[in-house]
Structure 1
């Protein structure tokens, strides 16, 4: 049966997910079979496993860091917010319905807990170490009796807890002391170590604060992790504030790509590979950031497509997008929900995503989408079938990705597919995907992750360069997106290993320490 350790936080967004990924990588490097686990994740950024199950992106990242293929047991319950105080509930990779917060806690939490315990048990039988991530704060006194993601999981797993505080936002010492004061005595005794995260400055000057925490709480500080930059680990559920802020700064890259920041934006990690390209200034617009006159506009995925489309219309963003395309020829690409928005109309007769039964789309593609109760969750392999100035240079190239959607989109006259899917969940198929307009300057697809394909990504960007009269940028001898992530996991592990008392953490696990020192 696997040893367990749990990472909880004094609040949301203190860095728990990234630290769990780092610990998974460290244990993996040290020769252990390690798996991540988060009982319940509330996130719009999700992923589809090889088996077709949906799970939170954070546990996918952590699985990759552990050298594993993601499995829904690592995140047995996923809540995808659909509106005010309601979410789509996904258990062991499959949707069970949309529930209000009250319905979920009063009527469904018991079943969810059964699934959580079963998944944790299976992981503990398969692996030697399970690193568990909590959610929010364990000190929310109104939730302590009903929560199924923090101390209840720690008790079930018999896991010592590392409590993380984000010092970059200020108030870290008070957050640690306050959290421990609000925990019941039994739960408080489970907190075996404190981690101060995102530290900037001189560690010597911080030593009195460490002494204070240890004296005041009786809990050792097992590490002070620096604020690290220069490499990126995918975000869990929101576009990082520093990325949005950076979009407001002037940059001189050849290509300016604007991604519309929707209220219910999902799977925004689709665009991380674009952000890493040397000739691309990728910026998120819509949160106080003007649209400007970009070389490409991308409409991303959404968990509430109709409501987000209404938001675009009310904010004036929809009219601006249409005007830029029709008057200046700015290309527009839509992914999943963004693809649906590009069409003539969206219909939700069963109110699966919204209380609005029908709304007009942007009218840039002659397609119609109807939301259906069946949810498509599948990995796919496809080839480019589109043409025109943006897609002809990549025609026939392969892309690999996944689909997560509840809509069925029907193409009208003057539109044609963008991709041909030839494999779904490992089985041979021959299915069209997406649509493009007659000029080839507007296209949409249901495939997430397609920009991970290096050859397709570079060819598409070079097509944008050609429209500006710029020469193509030759593919440099760079790592592909997957290889770069693996290198970043190693760099993350090195930073965190050097900042934590790993001897103390191995002691908490009841393990002797590294089996070998290696970097896989």
Structure 2
């Protein structure tokens, strides 16, 4: 049995574009004839994709499944924490509300097994698994027991691409600081850096690229320009209360699915033009 090749996308912070980059890479691999699936161990989101049987995952993984041209599965997002206004958050495990309250630290080993089992089911079915991290991999107060960023990458021995959003400012500090705070085993897993949301000519950041490579000893694989994409990042994909509880993309009509596919194709073309990552994808 062939086991899928795994590639992990981590970010220097939340909202730097991890979800969008996973979606674009998924569609790019599909265009190359590969069988691909997305995976995110734990997602904190109140924006659910709900299956006909009532199970749910985060919307961003459903969008990524569409990028792969496959049906969403609860294995793609085995754990979801749903914030509830003025109430304790709801823990969703394998698509179902858990019978206990959220205490990730206390339930760490059980949840870690849920994650690994879901991943193992996926990797037997596909050529590639594109894994998305959550937040930053160097939240030091949480790092000891985490299983969604470097905790998962080291378990899987997955190559990691590290993303930073230059539009926020502080790209040198965020990238260098992230790499510096990793231990040597974790640092060795990072195979490349992606600069996201660059305004202007990417060539104008050539000196910055060289500085980053000298500081981190990690190659910069590309600079993605800021562009207007009709797919919102992270888990505000739809941002509409009525849509949050729909059962499938078919509920939005063929025109919506067609528009989504066009945007995903455009995203894949952009990545193929601006990212030098063929050595990691093929």
- On whether the aligned pair clears a TM of 0.5, the verdict is yes
> Hey, what does 1:486 align to over in structure 2?
261
> Hey, what does 1:452 align to over in structure 2?
252
Which aligned pairs between 1:109-508 and structure 2 lie closer than 5 A? 109-229=108-228, 231-238=229-236, 268=239, 270=240, 300=241, 335=242, 401-402=246-247, 452-453=252-253, 480-506=255-281
Alpha-carbon distance in 2 for matches of 1:8, 1:85: 30
- Deviation by residue 1:241-281 (Cα, 9 ceiling, x = unmatched): xxxxxxxxxxxxxxxxxxxxxxxxxx62x4xxxxxxxxxxx
Bigger relative contact order (CA 8 A; separation at least 6): 2
**Structure with the higher helix share, 1 or 2:** 2
Which aligned pairs between 1:53-64 and structure 2 lie closer than 5 A? 53-64=55-66
After superposition, the CA RMSD in angstroms is 2.1
Alpha-carbon distance in 2 for matches of 1:129, 1:75: 16
- The answer on whether the counterparts of 1:86 and 1:98 sit within 8 Å (CA) in structure 2 is no
SS of alignment partner, residue 104 of structure 1: coil
Alpha-carbon distance in 2 for matches of 1:48, 1:105: 27
- Deviation by residue 1:182-206 (Cα, 9 ceiling, x = unmatched): 1111111111100000001122220
Alpha-carbon distance in 1 for matches of 2:201, 2:152: 36
Alpha-carbon distance in 1 for matches of 2:37, 2:249: 24
> Hey, what does 2:51 align to over in structure 1?
49
Give the TM-score, by structure 2 length. 0.93
Alpha-carbon distance in 1 for matches of 2:204, 2:94: 47
Shift of 1:495: 0.7
Alpha-carbon distance in 2 for matches of 1:201, 1:19: 20
- The answer on whether the counterparts of 2:26 and 2:68 sit within 8 Å (CA) in structure 1 is yes
Q: 2:10 aligns with which of 2, 8, 11?
A: 8
Alpha-carbon distance in 1 for matches of 2:86, 2:184: 35
- Deviation by residue 1:397-421 (Cα, 9 ceiling, x = unmatched): xxxx43xxxxxxxxxxxxxxxxxxx
> Hey, what does 2:39 align to over in structure 1?
37
- Deviation by residue 1:110-139 (Cα, 9 ceiling, x = unmatched): 211111000100111111100000000001
Where structure 1 has 5 or more consecutive residues not aligned to the other structure, the ranges are: 240-266, 271-299, 301-334, 338-376, 378-400, 403-447, 454-478, 512-520
**Structure with the higher strand share, 1 or 2:** 1
- Ranges of 4+ aligned residues in structure 1 off by more than 3 Å: 83-86, 448-451
Alpha-carbon distance in 2 for matches of 1:84, 1:113: 28
- The answer on whether the counterparts of 1:22 and 1:492 sit within 8 Å (CA) in structure 2 is yes
Alpha-carbon distance in 2 for matches of 1:235, 1:226: 15
Larger gyration radius, structure 1 or structure 2: 1
SS of alignment partner, residue 10 of structure 2: strand
Alpha-carbon distance in 1 for matches of 2:235, 2:60: 8
Alpha-carbon distance in 2 for matches of 1:161, 1:47: 27
**1:85–1:168 distance in 2 versus 1, CA, 3 Å:** farther
